[in-house]
Structure 1
């Protein structure tokens, strides 16, 4: 064992390995079994540990992959790596994806602690893709004060962070986010956009402009008898074909609401009062 560790600089011995004729691999496996069963003295364990003995291969693999995960985090600011991600020649994306599966960390609370020390949000309750965009945004605005401004077209690692941010701020998407997602955005100074005012329907706008034009015409002429071809110019520059509009309202009187008929009657159109 000592000769191998001095030569290879590690104590990871394949089960089938032999040193000369001696089956060192199977001997090492037996030592691990005895250690795990509590059948090894402390002195023997210490002697093996001085040679670099690894009692748990799973722990060793975890630490090796964790180093790769740290290297990925240094470049991408998140451990929510795509499955195809590679760091230090290790498939870190697939490894992290496997660990996020339910029950994958059962019996290894220290593994989860180690991952959280690198990235508290390594296993968020929201999509990993969202977390990748958020992490890039967080890095972009790290030195900003107040409301962050990242415009569409600003890309990081191939992701359009500006476009993504604009979508998060829309009222519909903002409301669909979890409390945790909104909290993280708010910590960066991100707030939702104000809801857009409801646009009146075309018909409503046309009617209201007609009423305004008729009121203006009446105030100026003292009459509501408008020539068919007359066009009334409103203060905002809108042109209303007032004569045609009045004829149209009279023609569709049966379809007008009570409120609209009352508005027309108040201006002096007697036909609006008819039962």
Structure 2
């Protein structure tokens, strides 16, 4: 069925006669309005992923269990659902309605907060960061006795500031 619809979606897939092609398009739209999803502003795989989501939910999975990595027939439905929530404003109203019906809501956007690593302003800022990095590395080497720092290591300085040495 999927391959047949794919063939129909191609240019000229409904036939060369424009009147017959229009009749066929109307017949398909009468039974499946989304048979040609690009006209609704979505990709061909959107209905397949949505069907996978509803199938998992109907099978007893909770929405909180459908996380990235949860698949249905080879499609990562968890990743797809997370992307839909994240990109909610890019979805058309029909897509938003469909997702809302099954409990998918727009993702909350985290608020960005300004962080300062230095109390100094101006041209000394980069120099100060470098100096703090050197102090942090000296402290780490003195304590650990090695020069190789793990990728995610954060060193706390005596003044209460931190330096991400592992980056």
Report TM bin, short chain.
Answer: 0.5 to 0.7
Aligned to 1:119: 32
Once the two structures are TM-superposed, the CA of residue 100 in structure 1 deviates from its matched residue by: 8.2
Distance 2:36 2:55 in 1: 19
Q: How many residues align?
A: 119
Aligned to 2:89: 175
125, 128, 148: which one pairs with 2:63?
Answer: 148
Aligned to 1:190: 104
Gaps of 5+ in 2: 120-155, 161-167
Q: Computing the radius of gyration over CA atoms, which structure comes out larger, 1 or 2?
A: 1
Aligned pair 1:158/2:71, yes or no? Answer: no
Question: Quick check: 2:67–2:79 contact (8 Å CA) kept in 1?
Answer: yes
Runs of 4+ deviating beyond 6 Å: 99-105
Q: How does 1:1-12 map to 2 (within 5 A)?
A: none
Gaps of 5+ in 1: 1-71, 73-80, 86-91, 208-237, 243-275
Distance 2:12 2:51 in 1: 18
Question: Quick check: 2:52–2:77 contact (8 Å CA) kept in 1?
Answer: yes
Which protein, 1 or 2, shows the higher relative CO under an 8 Å CA cutoff with sep ≥ 6? 2
